[in-house]
Every structure is written in structure tokens, then in C-alpha cells.
């Protein structure tokens, strides 16, 4: 599951992806959130306490260090569980997500992405010790602050317009943060929540998922801590 910001404009978002995946899955197979303990290893060249995540760049230092009772989680797509993409890499990935569009739509999509003036994306996954809950957090940094606000409004309105997602909990102290829950489905053992938020030139997305019963309060608390950390990163220890 890739962070929603990387495919925004071409896909509905993280929860839409989760819903399709669950609907198409073989329900006779057991749910596996990660294969083995190697998934808890950090990505390349982490700095500081490797168990809490890398902090060797300005953007990775804005990611929440892995809290107590959590650990680094499974890989996020092909990028590992603690990674950063440069602006060029993120732009190329976003443009590649528009391959299914017509030629004219693809050109317009490419122009929209260029207007974001994307500087980079950092991502990290978190796993709770019980092995039933995983959260994937990404932070995209853009020079175009208006585009950040517009992206947030688009994402939240899109979830509301689709009409099948349940409204998620609010994030105390952060009015520019919104969460939606995966549509109720009694035929699956999975549940998920997708959240987006913004602060200045930063667009934050979180996908949290796991087996039922799914703790919405725990997931939204992790997001609140992430947003607190962006406001006051402090010393990374």
C-alpha cells in the first residue's frame, strides 16, 4: 500500500485501495501483516537509534520516532519501512500513476504535478507489538503551499463524495486533519482508517489497518503525536 499522496489524482486514495484489495482477496487465506521479523529492520543508512527510525535528513527528522510499544513495521511497497524519495523521484512516481489516462489528460495531470513543486516525500511504517495493527505515515514537502491546502480539500471532499466511507474520529488540537474509515464489511476480518492533514508546506497522510477489533483511538493518537512532532520536533534521541 503506497502513501495516498503518491498517487493522488489517479486513485481514490489509501482506503479505496484497501477496499478493492479486500474485495478481490481470497478470503480462505489467513491474514498476514508481515512475513517475518526482518520487516522490523530499518531502511538504508538510518541515523541515531535504528529501532526508532532514521533521522539523517531534514524531512526524515519530521517523521515521528517509533513510540514505545511500537516498532518499525512492514515495507511500504518497494521502498522499505523507513525511506525518503527525492522530489524528482516522487514526481516521476506520481506521473507514472497517470499511465491509464488519455494523452491529453496525462499532459494535464503532469502539469498539475509540476505545479506542486514537490521537494520530497518521507515515509515510515509502524507496527504495534500485538502484530494486529500497522500504520503507514508519509510526509510530502511542497514549495506550493496553496497546492498543499487544495490537495487536502480535494482528498477530504473525495472521500465524502464517494459516500461509502465512514467518518473517522477527529484529531484533538488539529483542525486541518481528517480521518475516514473503510466501509463496514462483515465478510472481512480487516478494518482500516485513512487520514490526511497539512501544516504549511507539508502534506501528511496516514493509512492504519489491521484485524478487527480495530482501535481507532490508538490510530488517531499516533497521528496526533506525528502532528505534534512536526510542530515541535525537538532533539531526536
The answer, yes or no, to whether residue 86 has pLDDT greater than 70, is yes
Cell triple for 222: 499516533
Query: What percentage of the chain exceeds 90 in pLDDT?
Result: 37
The dihedral region occupied by 214, where left means phi > 0, alpha psi between -120 and 50, and beta the remainder, is beta
The answer, yes or no, to whether residue 12 has pLDDT greater than 60, is no
- Kindly indicate the confidence band of residue 130, based on its pLDDT and cuts at 50, 70 and 90: low
CATH 3.30.1490 given to domain 4-24+51-231 = no
Q: Which residue has the cell 487520514?
A: 195
pLDDT in tens, 38-76: 444 444 444 456 788 999 999 999 999 999 889 999 998
What pLDDT score does 33 carry? 35
pTM: predicted TM-score of the whole model, two decimal places: 0.77
What pLDDT score does 1 carry? 43
- Kindly indicate the confidence band of residue 179, based on its pLDDT and cuts at 50, 70 and 90: very high
Higher pLDDT, 206 or 43: 206
Amino acid at each position: 500500500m503506497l502513501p495516498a499522496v503518491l498517487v493522488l489524482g489517479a486513485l481514490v486514495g489509501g482506503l479505496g485501495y484497501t477496499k478493492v484489495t479486500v474485495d478481490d482477496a481470497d478470503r480462505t487465506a489467513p491474514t498476514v501483516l508481515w512475513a517475518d521479523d526482518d520487516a522490523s529492520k530499518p531502511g538504508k543508512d538510518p541515523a541515531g537509534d535504528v529501532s526508532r527510525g532514521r533521522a539523517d535528513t531534514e524531512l526524515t527528522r519530521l517523521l515521528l520516532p517509533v513510540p514505545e510499544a511500537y516498532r518499525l513495521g512492514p515495507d511500504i511497497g518497494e521502498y522499505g519501512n523507513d525511506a525518503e524519495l527525492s522530489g524528482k523521484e516522487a514526481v516521476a512516481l506520481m506521473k507514472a500513476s497517470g499511465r491509464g489516462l488519455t494523452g491529453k489528460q496525462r499532459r494535464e495531470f503532469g502539469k498539475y504535478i509540476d505545479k506542486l513543486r514537490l521537494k520530497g516525500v518521507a515515509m515510515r511504517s509502524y507496527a504495534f507489538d500485538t502484530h494486529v495493527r500497522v500504520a503507514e505515515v508519509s510526509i510530502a514537502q511542497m514549495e506550493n503551499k496553496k497546492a498543499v491546502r487544495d490537495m487536502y480539500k480535494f482528498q477530504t471532499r473525495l472521500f465524502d463524495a464517494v459516500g461509502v466511507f465512514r467518518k473517522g474520529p477527529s484529531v484533538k488540537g488539529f483542525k486541518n486533519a481528517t480521518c475516514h474509515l473503510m466501509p463496514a464489511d462483515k465478510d472481512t476480518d480487516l478494518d482500516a482508517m485513512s487520514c490526511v492533514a497539512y501544516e504549511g508546506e507539508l502534506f501528511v497522510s496516514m493509512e492504519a489497518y489491521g484485524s478487527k477489533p480495530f482501535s481507532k483511538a490508538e490510530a488517531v493518537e499516533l497521528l496526533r503525536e506525528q502532528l505534534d512532532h512536526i510542530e515541535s520536533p525537538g532533539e531526536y534521541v
